[in-house]
Amino acid sequence: MAFSSTGSLCFGIIIILSLLESLCACQRCSSRKPAQDITNQDGKHDHKTWLFSVNGRKRPYSFLDDYGNLIGFDVDLVAKVCQIAKKRCKMVLTEFTECSITSRDINYPGRGLMAEWFDGCPGYVKSIDREGAFDFTDPYLNTYASFTVAPGNPKAFDPDSSDYSKFSLTHLTGAVTNSKCLARLDKTVGKIIIAADLPEAKALLLNRSADVLFSPRSKIPDLEVLPQRVHCDAGGTAVMLKKGSNLAQWWNPAFQSLVDSGDYQKLCEESRIKYNASIRCMVSPPHSNPDTSEHHDKKVWLFSASGRRKPFNYLDDKGRLVGFDVDFVQEVCRVAGRRCANVLQEFTECTFTHRNTNFPGRGLMDGWVDACTGYGNTLDRESAFDFTDAYLRSTSYYSVAPGNPSGFKPTDTDFSKFTFTHLTGAYTNAKCLSRQGKKFGKIIIAANLPEAKALILNKTADVLFSPRSRIPGLESLPQEVHCERTGVAIMVKRGSPLPDWWNPAFRTYVESGQFSQLCRNSSTKYSYPIDCLPDDATLRYS
């Protein structure tokens, strides 16, 4: 096709304009500020952006000013430490319950921290009971706890008394000012109400539903904070982390550099003026020894524990996470040369029941944890989970109200006239009853053990089917039932590589005689018979 001279001229102009546009675009690109080239202390490039969660409601530490800017001491401190560590860091607004929550008097990690929406939560008190659920950086603020009452202290609450049992106390969900702290202070407590937030806690005091608010606050508008101060902490306020996080490995040395340079104290003085508030800075912040082991950068395998299964995993009187499973995990991981941590997590994050079928929980499926200790290996569970080798015998029982008022007989084959209950996620379920050749009727799924007990005692249900041989307030019938295939094992997500290293290490541990020794010692240590599988059975199941 031939072009006219006019067409050729137009075509040439178009090409020239295109070239000019491209040239301008390149000049605009080159004029932009280049992305910050951050290297870590080893000189390697670090492209990760570390996120720090705050709720924007903790003046003067992290709050939104009148224009909506996120400011405060914690915001400034994070910026300083990250600058020293040469890390990209950002603050992110999230509800405080994404960091920590309280459920049935135990503090658990929040969804946001476990799902790694962010990496750390600044401004959280390090305590004995929280150490079962979280890791922490070195502390950077002093802290204390106080008791708050309605104006005039109408119930005449005395913080110096040792007996609080006649008062109703409240604290915020996830707070360190909880029953475990009161136990460490040798206080006898009665009713405790968990408040969703500070406005709810204030309302509870003002409408007389609660008598005392236990919190780390020195001033609360419209309420009276009593002068006595107590300590729930184990060193102070720090950045709270998911178990196994490597944030503290770079944060702690950088923070120590800030302290050694004098800039920490300078920041504290500037913040007092800048935010017109008292900042609880430390005179000499303590610091931990850096982790110089060759394994410090290896993956930390997380094992979930609900903290409610004495003697296997539970919180002792001081709030420490202890128990046979806790010790057992550390022993096998030692043999395997793996870094492992036990972490508090609601049992429903491992498994739950819906319409008489057991499904994997969110925590296990989303990788909040790698494994769940103390779960029976059953035929129906094997469609949802993988398992390690078994290490404990598994036995189930029928429990009834005292005196067995419904006349339930475990030896019968027809249970259809009785209403059963079991905990959500339990393997003492409809499938197990079917495998036992039992005919059954109504089954009520209970959210937890207190709810199941209530169903029995208020006669909504007749029988609790569970792996527990002793339940306070109920009568456990002597007949034993077996729902399991092999026994109690470590339950993992389908396809998990954990059994590939766990099982050989466990076999080595058994063959050395150390497993049977651990079982004997634990029965004495925890004053409870630990029903371990014998060595020959353990190896046979391997």
Residue 142 pLDDT class (50, 70, 90 cuts): very high
Torsional class of 484: left (φ above 0), alpha (ψ -120 to 50), beta (otherwise):
beta
* Residues 282, 77: Cα–Cα separation, whole Å: 13
Q: What is the mean pLDDT of residues 116-135?
A: 97
Chain CA centroid to CA 450, Å: 21
Torsional class of 11: left (φ above 0), alpha (ψ -120 to 50), beta (otherwise):
alpha
Output the six-digit token pair for 468.
Answer: 């527990």
Residue carrying the six token digits 């910026």: 79
What's the total number of domains in the chain? 4
* Residues 150, 167: Cα–Cα separation, whole Å: 13
Q: What is the mean pLDDT of residues 2-28?
A: 42
- DSSP label at 287? -
- Asked whether residue 8 is domain-assigned, the answer is no
Q: Does residue 423 contact residue 449 with C-beta atoms inside 8 Å?
A: yes
* Residues 21, 286: Cα–Cα separation, whole Å: 59
Domain edge (last residue) among 442, 476, 510 = 476
- Asked whether residue 500 is domain-assigned, the answer is yes
Residue 296 pLDDT class (50, 70, 90 cuts): low
Task: Count the Cβ atoms, other than its own, within 10 Å of residue 98.
Answer: 21
- Asked whether residue 40 is domain-assigned, the answer is no
- Asked whether residue 92 is domain-assigned, the answer is yes
The answer to whether residues 318 and 455 belong to one domain is: no
Residue-wise DSSP of 54-72: E-SEETTTEEE-TTS-EES
Predicted local distance difference test score (pLDDT) of residue 5: 43
Q: Is the pLDDT of residue 47 over 90?
A: no
Predicted local distance difference test score (pLDDT) of residue 298: 87
Predicted local distance difference test score (pLDDT) of residue 15: 41
Q: Is the pLDDT of residue 324 over 80?
A: yes
Domain edge (last residue) among 476, 502, 529 = 476
Q: Is the pLDDT of residue 7 over 60?
A: no
Task: Count the Cβ atoms, other than its own, within 10 Å of residue 439.
Answer: 12
Residue 440 pLDDT class (50, 70, 90 cuts): very high
Q: Is the pLDDT of residue 12 over 70?
A: no
Output the six-digit token pair for 293.
Answer: 């082991």
Q: Is the pLDDT of residue 266 over 50?
A: yes
Predicted local distance difference test score (pLDDT) of residue 294: 57
Q: What is the mean pLDDT of residues 337-345?
A: 97
402: exposed, middle or buried (Cβ count in 10 Å: 0-12, 13-18, 19+): exposed
* Residues 341, 330: Cα–Cα separation, whole Å: 8
| 359-396 confidence digits (pLDDT tens) | 999 999 999 999 999 999 999 999 999 999 999 999 99
Task: Count the Cβ atoms, other than its own, within 10 Å of residue 57.
Answer: 14
Which residue in 448, 474, 74 sits closest to 279, CA to CA?
A: 74
Sequence-separated (6 or more) residues with CB below 8 Å from residue 17:
none
Q: Is the pLDDT of residue 183 over 50?
A: yes
- Asked whether residue 121 is domain-assigned, the answer is yes
* Secondary structure, 3-state, 396-434: EEEEECCCCCCCCCCCCCEECCCCEEEECCCCCCHHHHH
Q: Does residue 414 contact residue 391 with C-beta atoms inside 8 Å?
A: no
Predicted local distance difference test score (pLDDT) of residue 535: 76
* Greater pLDDT, 80 or 6: 80
The answer to whether residues 381 and 307 belong to one domain is: yes
| 480-533 confidence digits (pLDDT tens) | 999 999 999 999 999 999 999 999 999 999 999 999 999 999 999 999 999 999
Predicted local distance difference test score (pLDDT) of residue 39: 54
Which residue in 257, 262, 254, 243 sits closest to 40, CA to CA?
A: 254
* Residues 23, 29: Cα–Cα separation, whole Å: 10
Q: Does residue 303 contact residue 342 with C-beta atoms inside 8 Å?
A: yes
Q: Does residue 144 contact residue 193 with C-beta atoms inside 8 Å?
A: no
* Range with lowest mean pLDDT among 2-6, 39-43, 206-210, 397-401: 2-6
Predicted local distance difference test score (pLDDT) of residue 46: 67
- DSSP label at 264? H
Which CATH number belongs to the domain containing residue 446 in this structure? 3.40.190.10
The answer to whether residues 80 and 187 belong to one domain is: no
Task: Count the Cβ atoms, other than its own, within 10 Å of residue 134.
Answer: 26
Predicted local distance difference test score (pLDDT) of residue 70: 97
Output the six-digit token pair for 266.
Answer: 């300078």
The answer to whether residues 76 and 196 belong to one domain is: no
* Residues 123, 125: Cα–Cα separation, whole Å: 7
* Greater pLDDT, 80 or 355: 80
What mean pLDDT value characterizes the chain? 91
Q: Is the pLDDT of residue 252 over 60?
A: yes
pTM for this entry = 0.87
The answer to whether residues 254 and 334 belong to one domain is: no
| 231-248 confidence digits (pLDDT tens) | 999 999 999 999 999 999
The answer to whether residues 494 and 388 belong to one domain is: yes
- Asked whether residue 419 is domain-assigned, the answer is yes
Which structural domain, as residue segments, surrounds residue 120? Answer: 49-138+241-274
Domain edge (last residue) among 427, 457, 476 = 476
Residue 141 pLDDT class (50, 70, 90 cuts): very high
Residue 261 pLDDT class (50, 70, 90 cuts): very high
Residue 31 pLDDT class (50, 70, 90 cuts): very low
Q: What is the mean pLDDT of residues 96-109?
A: 95
Predicted local distance difference test score (pLDDT) of residue 128: 96
Task: Count the Cβ atoms, other than its own, within 10 Å of residue 411.
Answer: 6
Which residue in 131, 191, 86 sits closest to 318, CA to CA?
A: 131
